[in-house]
């Protein structure tokens, strides 16, 4: 029944080694979001795709990139992870009219060593 | 984007009704109010959404006064499993291009005890 699936659930990467997190959806929603959530903090929006249009938040570091090759998949690339990038990364989807709000995945917990 | 203010934490006991109030003084005409629940190490989960007056579903009620500058999430007869963080978000229902994204506030940590 999982509708927004994030893989892997846990990811350990080395300092400075590129890492990619993936998100897939079966809802056919046209908007996909990536949020970063650090311990005891609220989720912080990094960027979102409205169909194929990429929308970056002004304060999202250049170290974070995203790709959306088709409606179902979206990837978060961290080019050179630092210790401060350790966090839960949440993918969410919505229609362009947000009836019923966002649907979130279970998240990927990233550890940087 | 309308900024929201919620209590940082609330404590309750099993079986009680819990009301969490959110202030959103600069809510815009087209903005809706949406509440999410988040358990540790999980993504937020949609609870309820409304524009004005009262909305009720199988898990909660949402009360919105006429001026819409605040809203109250009501959880009837809470149980231990309702211990979670609750977020109030305010934003336009329709997403257009790069705008109208929902921004999370600090949320309310609800702790339910026996």
pLDDT tens for A19-68 read 999 999 999 999 999 999 999 999 999 999 999 999 898 899 999 999 99
Predicted local confidence at residue B97, as pLDDT: 55
Domain map (residue ranges) of chain B: 9-113
Instruction: State the sign of the Cα–Cα–Cα–Cα dihedral A20, A21, A25, A28.
Output: negative
Domain count, chain A: 1
pLDDT in tens, B80-92: 999 999 999 998 8
Residues in chain B predicted with pLDDT less than 50, given as ranges, are none
Query: If you average pLDDT over residues A76-91, what whole number do you get?
Result: 97
Burial bucket for residue B46 (CB in 10 Å: 0-12, 13-18, 19+)? middle
Q: Does B109 touch chain A (CB under 8 A)?
A: no
**Domain of residue A89, residue span:** 4-112
Distance from the Cα of A109 to chain B's closest Cα (Å) equals: 8
More reliable by pLDDT, A102 or A98:
A102
d(CA A7, CA A89): 10
User: In the prediction, which pLDDT does B103 show?
Assistant: 79
Instruction: Tell me how far apart the alpha carbons of residues A85 and A36 are, in angstroms, rounded to a whole number.
Output: 9
Q: CB distance from B81 to chain A under 8 Å?
A: no
pLDDT at B48: 96
Q: Span B9-113: which CATH code?
A: 2.60.40.10
């Amino acid at each position: 029944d999982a509708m927004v699936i994030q893989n892997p659930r846990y990811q350990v990467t080395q300092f400075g080694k590129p890492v990619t997190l993936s998100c897939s959806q079966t809802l056919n929603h046209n908007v996909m979001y990536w949020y970063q959530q650090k311990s005891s903090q609220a989720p912080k929006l990094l960027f979102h795709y409205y169909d194929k249009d990429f929308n970056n938040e002004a304060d999202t570091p250049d170290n974070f990139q995203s790709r959306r090759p088709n409606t179902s998949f979206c990837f978060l690339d961290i080019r050179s992870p630092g210790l401060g990038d350790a966090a839960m990364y949440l993918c969410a989807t919505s229609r362009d009219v947000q009836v019923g709000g966002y649907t979130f995945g279970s998240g990927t917990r990233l550890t940087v060593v | 984007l309308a900024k929201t203010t919620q209590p940082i934490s609330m404590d309750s006991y099993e079986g009680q009704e819990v009301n969490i109030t959110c202030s959103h003084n600069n809510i815009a005409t087209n903005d809706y109010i949406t509440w999410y629940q988040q358990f540790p190490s999980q993504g937020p989960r949609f609870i309820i959404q409304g524009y004005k007056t009262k909305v009720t579903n199988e898990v909660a009620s949402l009360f919105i006064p006429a001026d819409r500058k605040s809203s109250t999430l009501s959880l009837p007869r809470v149980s231990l499993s309702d211990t979670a963080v609750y977020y109030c978000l305010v934003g336009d229902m329709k997403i257009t291009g790069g705008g109208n994204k929902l921004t999370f506030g600090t949320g309310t940590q609800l702790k339910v005890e026996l």
